[in-house]
Amino acid sequence: MSAPLRVAITALGCKVNYAEMAELAGALAAAGCDVVPEDEPADVRVLNSCTVTTQADATTRQRISRLRRHDPDAHLVLTGCSVDANPGVYRTDAGAAGVRVDALFANADKHAIAGHVLALAPPQDRPRSPAALRSRAFIKVQDGCNHRCTYCIVWQARGMSRSVPVDAVLRQAAAALEDGHRELVLCGVDLGSYGRDTGTNLTALLEPLLALAGSDARVRLSSINANDVTRDLIELNAEQRLCSHWHMPLQSGSDAVLRAMHRGYRRRQYLRVVDALRARDPETQFTTDVMVGFPGETEEDHRETLSLVDQVGFLGCHVFRWSPRPGTPATALAGRVDTATARRRSAEVRRSAAQTAEAARRAAVGKQHEVVWDGTEDGLARGLTATYFEVIGPASPLARPGRLSRVRADAIEGARLRVTLLDP
C-alpha cells in the first residue's frame, strides 16, 4: 500500500477558521490521510486565511511565502476570507501577476477542499487520527453576518448569516466529547445571531449542549456582541458548565464613534451587560477587541475608550488601528487620524488593558479554578481556566492534554498563573 498523503493545515484569524479546519482535518484523517503539524514536511498544505484588517491580508501573504520556503514541493491550497475579499490577488496560473498558490477555494466552496485533496492520492484503507489544531473542540455553529459595520469587509467575504441546525451541532458535540475533548467552543462569525434564520436562538442551543456536557465537560462561547446578550443568556452565566468568560468586542468606548461604526450597542448598554453577567457570577472575566484611529475619533473619544477599559477591567484586549479597506463606507469618511496619533492611542489602550489584566490575575491568586490542559512546555503543563486565565503547573498524567482539572492559583509568572493540582 502506498504511503498516506501527508496534509498540514494552517488556520489564521478567528476561531471560526480553526473550527472549519478541525472539521477538514477530521474528514481527511477518516479517509486515510496523515494530518501533520505545520512545521513538519507535507505533501499538501491548506491555509485558511483572514481579511479582518489589511494587516491580516499581509499576514496571509507572508504565511504563503513561509510555507513555500519551508516546503517548496507541497501542493498549496488557499481558502478563507482573504480569497473572497481580494479577487485577482491570488492566482493558480504560473507566471501570472499576484500571489501564486496551487488551488483556490472561496468560503462558499470550502466543502470541496477535502475532495480536492483526496483526489491528489489514492485513499488509504485505515483511518488515522488528525493532529489537533487545538486541544479544545471548536464547533462552527454559524457563518456569515447581516450587520454592515462601516469598517468591515468580512460580511462581504462570508455572506449572509446562516445557522447550523441544533441537531447537527449536538451530533458534532457528542462526537467531540466521545473523542475525549472536555471543552466545546462554539464559533460563529456573528455568534449572537444564531438561530434567527431558523426560528431559534443561542440559548435554545446552549441548554441541550450544557446537558450533553454533563458534569465532566464545559462549553465556551467564542465571541458575542453586547447587544446580543439576552436576559436568558445572562441567566445561563450562573451555570457551572458554561465558561464564565465572555469575549465581547468593544471597538470604542465612545457613543459617537460606535454610531459612526454602525455598531448595534452603546457604551451604557455594554456596561449594563457586563454588570448583569458579573451579578450572576462575580468571577466572570471579559476579553475584547478595540479599534483606535477610526475616522473622526477625537481625544475625548479616545479618553472614553480608556475609561471604559478601566471600568470593565478586561483580562485581555486585542488592540488594532483602523485601516482603510476598499469597498467599506468608513474609507470615505472625513477626519482621518494621523499615523503617529493612532500609534500613541494604540499604545495607551494596550497599557491600560495590561494593567487591568494584571489586576485580574492578582485577584485570581489564592482561588480555585477549573482548567483544561493544552500540553507541556519546558517540563510544565499549560492550560486554560474556564475564566480564560492561562496557567502552568506540574506536568503529570493528571494534567494531560484535554483533561479537566481543579487547581489552586498560587502565584503569577509573567502573564500566567502558576497552579497546584487539587484533583487526586
Q: What is the DSSP letter of 171?
A: H
- Among the listed residues 70, 21, 26, the one whose alpha carbon sits nearest the alpha carbon of residue 47: 21
Give the domain ranges of the chain.
6-118, 134-243, 271-364, 368-421
pLDDT of residue 120: 86
Q: Residues 6 or more apart from 173 whose CB is under 8 A from it?
A: 137, 139, 184, 209, 212, 213
| Distance separating alpha carbons of residues 104 and 100, to the nearest angstrom | 10
pLDDT of residue 2: 66
Domain 134-243 matches domain 271-364 at the CATH topology level? yes
Edge-to-edge strands of the sheet including 316-321? 245-247, 285-292, 316-321
The CATH class of 134-243 is alpha beta
Q: Could you give the 3-state DSSP secondary structure of residue 159?
A: coil
* Span 91-107, pLDDT tens digits: 887 655 567 888 888 88
Judge residue 308's burial from the number of C-beta atoms within 10 Å of its C-beta, 0-12 exposed, 13-18 middle, 19 or more buried. buried
Angle at CA of residue 385, ends 138 and 423, nearest 5°:
115
pLDDT at 413 over 90: yes
Mean of pLDDT values over 176-203: 93
Q: Could you give the 3-state DSSP secondary structure of residue 188?
A: strand
Mean of pLDDT values over 10-24: 85
Q: Could you tell me the fold of the domain covering 271-364?
A: Transcription Regulator spoIIAA (3.30.750)
Secondary structure of 203-233 as H, E, C letters: HHHHHHHHHHHCCCCEEEECCCCHHHCCHHH
pLDDT of residue 123: 55
Give the C-alpha distances (Å, rounded to integers) separating 411 from 96, 247, 284. Answer: 56, 25, 20
* Span 64-89, pLDDT tens digits: 888 888 888 889 999 989 888 888 88
- Among the listed residues 72, 75, 79, the one whose alpha carbon sits nearest the alpha carbon of residue 5: 75
pLDDT of residue 159: 86
CB atoms within 10 A of CB 378: 7
pLDDT band, residue 17 (cuts 50/70/90): confident
3-state helix, strand, coil in the chain (%, to 5): 40, 25, 40
Judge residue 9's burial from the number of C-beta atoms within 10 Å of its C-beta, 0-12 exposed, 13-18 middle, 19 or more buried. buried
Mean of pLDDT values over 138-166: 90
pLDDT band, residue 248 (cuts 50/70/90): very high
Q: For residue 140, what is the enclosing H or E element?
A: strand 137-143
Question: What's this model's pTM, rounded to 2 decimal places?
Answer: 0.86
Range with lowest mean pLDDT among 192-206, 227-241, 311-325, 398-412: 398-412
368-421 maps to which CATH number?
2.40.50.140
6-118 maps to which CATH number?
3.40.50.12160
Which grid coordinates belong to 86? 481580494
* Span 368-402, pLDDT tens digits: 999 999 888 888 999 999 999 999 998 888 788 88
pLDDT of residue 93: 75
Range with lowest mean pLDDT among 46-60, 271-285, 290-304: 46-60
